[in-house]
Amino acid sequence: MLSDAAYARIDRELAKYPADQRQSAVMAALAIAQREQGWVSPEVVRDLAAYIGMPPIAVHEVATFYNMYDTRPVGKHKLSVCTNLPCALRDGVKAGEYLKEKLGIDYNETTPDGLFTLKESECLGACADAPVMLVNNHRMCSFMSNEQLDALIAELKAQG
């Protein structure tokens, strides 16, 4: 289901734990699979469960508990805006509303062209930099004014 390179990365994660604690690598395995596939499908859950040696429901529980895993297809660029209290007090909610209007979608929706999915995020641990957001679970963006949001959207559109 995944590439040989993805399984090799999962093997490196599995090697960090004793043989009887392979399930400890499930979060890393899910991240590797999601990065390659774009989301964590039910087939990926079953494949990882078999590969790691744990029940599929246990993998599913992890994938659905943490908001960094997408169990439905998302756009090429997933924008996660922190709206927890510290960010909300420093315009995190306004940044989210601005993106909704600019992209023409609501939270948990994807633009018709498949480029953007907008999500509300739990705390990203950068409250002093509010409003903050995460792009594709890997790129933290701080102090996101409307002008910075416009620049980010333009940059991501240029990437396709």
Helices 42-52, 26-37: inter-axial angle, 10-degree rounding: 140
What is the full DSSP assignment across 68-107?
Answer: TS-SS---SEEEEEE-SHHHHHTTHHHHHHHHHHHHT--T
pLDDT higher than 90, residue 160: no
Helices (H), 114-160: 146-159
Could you tell me the residue ranges of all domains in the chain?
Answer: 4-65, 77-159
This prediction's pTM: 0.85
82 annotated to bind ligand: yes
Spatial distance between the Cα atoms of 160 and 147, rounded to a whole number of angstroms: 20
- pLDDT tens digits, 63-83: 999 988 999 999 999 999 999
pLDDT digits (tens, 9 = 90+) for 7-16: 999 999 999 9
pLDDT at 23 over 90: yes
pLDDT above 90 for 147: yes
Is there a binding annotation on residue 141? no
Fold equal for 4-65 and 77-159: no
Query: 77-159: CATH homologous superfamily?
Result: Glutaredoxin (3.40.30.10)
Instruction: Kindly tell me if the per-residue pLDDT of 27 is higher than 90.
Output: yes
**In the predicted structure, residue 5 carries a pLDDT above the cut 90:** yes
Residue type, 113: D
- Tell me which CATH homologous superfamily contains domain 4-65: NADH-quinone oxidoreductase subunit E (1.10.10.1590)
pLDDT at 122: 87
